[in-house]
Chain A
């Protein structure tokens, strides 16, 4: 597995060169978004409302971090990924309309997202679920948060990260989906084991 460094802003050619199984590390600005934020983003896009941040070229991290505030400063204590599949209904549109080239999460994403990744040039990288303290070590700074009315887990957090990874590319921009392969293998073996 080749070790690849990506710096933000991430361009299409950066991700078109990636394939399932590649391992990447990301440096730069990253934005978190999960259930409620995705729902609101899509709603804002439908209503033609301006979003209070730019996702273009930045990784989108499925994460509801545990953050501590001391005075005016935020510190991230734990920031592992949340289950990405919950964002499947919205992610294709986010990729197509907001210029996101890298989705980071755990557990994989589905057909609709994979199709959007193929069309627009984006990939999905998996970080180890629950390795939250480990993840926090790569977060050098909290730039801020938007939509805190949604609560700490659901707000959009902006982090500066350095060599955040290893992110295993599990869905690439050519329709390959590693989780789907693992599932298919398990289904094939099921008849023998039940």
Chain B
């Protein structure tokens, strides 16, 4: 009897956690459709803030820049990361363990430290602040994720298939293109989406590396929040969260996130 009661309490707890996780996001989204600029209730539906958004050049430029950087990060990190994963999968060599361990600092060290270190170094070598620096930083942050996700997919690959293709006379490049890549494609797509998300949602590193005049979207939002809330920021935040959740949902479908499919 008490077991049943406990199970029910557990489910209630789970629902409460989900409410805790989603309520603020839902409220923010709802408020972006509220006419009052001070989030006053009662709620009055309005699309004013979205209309204001389309006329806001600063936000639009920042949005285009953010998407551009995220796409470039996705392409570069996926190419470099997939190549590295293939090397880890195919070859045994000295220092392999060290190289794999070196993937953790970019993930594990707080971004505050990585970001300020990048700022110092890029200034020292004359690259300075700006979009190129932001891109270099984002690719470095995304690379370990791509390598982890693609390697996870490679672990399910039967390596005798590569040997069979090679024994039939296929060259290394043909084997990669015709045998290995098609098999690991879901992992590569998931890795690419992770890379896009890492870049698109990245705030800390972009904050230290972007020039005041050419901020990415999160950096622009942060500076706006510190100056005072505006419902326009609310509207753009709602759009961002919908995009990044959609990207992650698709990524989760491609990787074996919730178990085998």
A pairs with B: no
